[in-house]
Structure 1
């Protein structure tokens, strides 16, 4: 293993495209959406639309900063520049922690599916196998990570596209033997808001976290041949990805099925497939969900390791984690993420309702913290740039008005988490964890270095051609 801080730049455009798409399609869409629909009724579409709008705006802001200065540390390094070193340290560690916790959740979910298929192998053994396989994939090379993610995402996309085609045909009565319900499931059974507007707001807090992961594309872009173009494509495609995959598929579910059906609560997509008369609907969806789980494990391990690598380069994590293999992989950071990931998997089996639940709750609001930091960083850095902002390749719409609107929306969501009983504990545990990490950051960097770092960003924009991939060959 070498100490040269050079990451590989072998991710191809097709890899980046599927990483961007796969980042917003998780197992939660196929399974978790049922609980949200049961909670709010057809009006859940408004919650998905509102959450999607927040993500689109956040991604636009992140894209503006990433296109100007692609970094493996992404928003963590931009927080360094905008708010000070303590902020970059804080949000970087919180983000890595979020994905490490996700490893424990997703490995257990994937193992449960495998155990149903092959009960002779214990569930914990399947979890171990999945974690080992994807660790080897990430350690081998970034290209192998990209290749696995490409095919995982391709399966998810293909499944949703087929679902959308069949669902649209069923809505318009074009499938023989399948009765078209018209608008009865939307207007009947209490209408669009059978449980009131409050239920939709509560549902918003559930679905908003389903979109977390879109930012992975900006982290992975640093390991592509042309990071600026990769970021621009990923950000610009966020709009249609959310409109089609999330809002489109959920719209089909609530149109074809009664929102209060027990089959919707269990698995809405399986219920719709069964309506088409397709045999083995449950098994088909198990394959799709397993693919989503493996994709999340793969990308989660990648993302956590790259954030730890970036933190190490900046002196905010053990220096050994900055070592890069001959294949351009920060193997030490990958193994560090995996080690903690194995611990969380073990805790999910040994103490799922106590220790692991406590740890999971500490990450409950991290998505909103990350989005808030992105918005505030973009607001500060854009204003500091002054006239140099005209040279930006990608710009936030209607700056600063939409930036402020996004900040206000995220703060409102955090307040909503504090009000809602189901999310209150998770919010306060996340705040407590963030407070501890921020305290460590402030202790290390009492005076910060935000303005000096911001000046380096401005000089990058002024001095370097936006389409020149050379500056991105070294992560700073």
Structure 2
């Protein structure tokens, strides 16, 4: 009997919007408040730096995926070029990355719901997990459609925010905190109000804001025309960064001085409340709620597909490689959902710090995954210059830029270790890698 395979049911519009959805999530809508409180207006520069670094990571990922039609994710080429341990550790780390990210997303759902209802944060968090599991158990085409419409809502909201913001700047709108003006960028302590320390400490949350940018690579196995769709999605990343991140945050900082924004709430919601437009803030809260649900949806999609691929390649329990009647890895989805439910538990035990802890761990693990992509690409360039020469999607400035970005990632980890807020998570994360290396050694011994 022929084994079921994942269906290639994602069209170009699905892949494009999954790529957008992956770059607009909880890190931007909720986490940017904490980042702004640390860096002030220099947060715009932080987004540009991290976004540029990840564009080069994505170009390396794109070239590698298209170099071999058999590659379904970066674990495949990590195994080929570095070794089976790299595929095992990176695959399971990517699963763990998205588990942490999905936890952050469902925790954020609880935060947003409390805008309207004064209920314990863990209740809407748990409800969100159950709903997302049920939706993901259906066809991948439905997942693509859901992400398509979720992403459209996010895009329309940010574009509307930018347009309204520009209009308010032009007419010199008066808010409770003063005039809407571009001068708000530098009139409240300058571009670097908290010095270089504040600027550097903002990198953790901004790195987390970009998690999911590589999701287009995971979706490659279910993309109908990867040669066309993957390059198209990756090449549009710089425009999205300028518009969705830099553009939106710039407008927010012009409408209200950065000093008026709370570190614990969404600046996208606060900006309209402070401007005296409460109806708009309620609408935006609904949008960021759907955004968190969308990001959680992507999280379950990624974790289940990574578990499926690991199991199929004999790097995980066999029962995880089975597909249900809808050609969806149901067992992997159930396991991932159960682990994500820890997010609801954290919301109950430590509601004030749960979001910060899981976002830091997620950012560190994603840095590992992105670094493996860059290192694999360096080895690929050295071992297979023939493939690079004939590639239809060559990564620019390689391998030089690969080394530059790797040094940048090390610097970000050092900053996280120095910061008191993120230090505990940095010290805890190596435990995950120790467990992986031990389990890999035991599997290899068997």
Give the structure-2-normalised TM-score.
0.91
Give CA deviations for 1:96-131 in whole Å, capped at 9, x if unaligned. 122223333322332444465466x87544333322
| Partner in structure 2 of residue 471 of structure 1 | none
| Partner in structure 2 of residue 326 of structure 1 | 325
For residues 41-56 of structure 1, the aligned pairs below 5 Å read 41-56=40-55
Looking at structure 2, the residues matched to 386 and 148 of structure 1 have their Cα atoms a distance apart, in angstroms, of: 40
| Partner in structure 2 of residue 18 of structure 1 | 17
Is the 1:47–1:203 Cα contact (8 Å) retained in structure 2? yes
Is residue 2:80 matched to residue 1:78?
Answer: no
For residues 219-238 of structure 1, the aligned pairs below 5 Å read 219-238=218-237
| Partner in structure 2 of residue 154 of structure 1 | 152
Is residue 2:288 matched to residue 1:289?
Answer: yes
Is residue 2:166 matched to residue 1:168?
Answer: yes
Offset at residue 411 of structure 1 (A) = 1.6
Range 270-279 or range 85-94, more displaced: 270-279
Range 109-118 or range 55-64, more displaced: 109-118
| Partner in structure 1 of residue 127 of structure 2 | 129
Range 42-51 or range 295-304, more displaced: 42-51
User: What secondary structure, in the 3-state scheme, does the structure 1 residue paired with 2:367 have?
Assistant: helix
For residues 45-444 of structure 1, the aligned pairs below 5 Å read 45-69=44-68, 73-114=72-113, 117=116, 124-173=122-171, 181-262=180-261, 266-274=265-273, 278-350=277-349, 362-444=361-443
Is the 1:99–1:301 Cα contact (8 Å) retained in structure 2? yes
Looking at structure 2, the residues matched to 140 and 373 of structure 1 have their Cα atoms a distance apart, in angstroms, of: 32
Offset at residue 138 of structure 1 (A) = 1.0
Is the 2:7–2:327 Cα contact (8 Å) retained in structure 1? yes
Offset at residue 345 of structure 1 (A) = 2.6
Looking at structure 2, the residues matched to 362 and 265 of structure 1 have their Cα atoms a distance apart, in angstroms, of: 18
Range 192-201 or range 239-248, more displaced: 192-201
Is the 1:72–1:310 Cα contact (8 Å) retained in structure 2? no
Looking at structure 2, the residues matched to 184 and 116 of structure 1 have their Cα atoms a distance apart, in angstroms, of: 31
| Partner in structure 2 of residue 452 of structure 1 | none
Looking at structure 2, the residues matched to 341 and 382 of structure 1 have their Cα atoms a distance apart, in angstroms, of: 38
Offset at residue 146 of structure 1 (A) = 0.9
Looking at structure 2, the residues matched to 183 and 276 of structure 1 have their Cα atoms a distance apart, in angstroms, of: 15
User: What secondary structure, in the 3-state scheme, does the structure 2 residue paired with 1:140 have?
Assistant: coil
Gaps of 5+ in 1: 447-476
Q: From the superposition, tell whether residues 417 and 114 of structure 1 become closer, same or farther in structure 2 (CA, over 3 Å).
A: closer
Give the structure-1-normalised TM-score.
0.85
User: What secondary structure, in the 3-state scheme, does the structure 2 residue paired with 1:280 have?
Assistant: helix
Is the 2:204–2:360 Cα contact (8 Å) retained in structure 1? no
Q: From the superposition, tell whether residues 387 and 47 of structure 1 become closer, same or farther in structure 2 (CA, over 3 Å).
A: same
Looking at structure 2, the residues matched to 376 and 364 of structure 1 have their Cα atoms a distance apart, in angstroms, of: 18
Is the 1:70–1:218 Cα contact (8 Å) retained in structure 2? no
Is the 1:34–1:268 Cα contact (8 Å) retained in structure 2? yes
Is the 1:363–1:426 Cα contact (8 Å) retained in structure 2? no
User: What secondary structure, in the 3-state scheme, does the structure 2 residue paired with 1:6 have?
Assistant: coil
Looking at structure 2, the residues matched to 445 and 406 of structure 1 have their Cα atoms a distance apart, in angstroms, of: 32
Q: CA RMSD in A?
A: 2.7
| Partner in structure 2 of residue 459 of structure 1 | none
Q: From the superposition, tell whether residues 335 and 426 of structure 1 become closer, same or farther in structure 2 (CA, over 3 Å).
A: same
Give CA deviations for 1:369-428 in whole Å, capped at 9, x if unaligned. 111111111111122112231111211101111111111111221222222222222112
Looking at structure 2, the residues matched to 193 and 361 of structure 1 have their Cα atoms a distance apart, in angstroms, of: 23
Range 153-162 or range 355-364, more displaced: 355-364
Q: From the superposition, tell whether residues 71 and 185 of structure 1 become closer, same or farther in structure 2 (CA, over 3 Å).
A: farther
Q: From the superposition, tell whether residues 193 and 115 of structure 1 become closer, same or farther in structure 2 (CA, over 3 Å).
A: closer
Give CA deviations for 1:123-152 in whole Å, capped at 9, x if unaligned. 544333322221121111101111111111
User: What secondary structure, in the 3-state scheme, does the structure 2 residue paired with 1:365 have?
Assistant: helix
Looking at structure 1, the residues matched to 351 and 113 of structure 2 have their Cα atoms a distance apart, in angstroms, of: 19
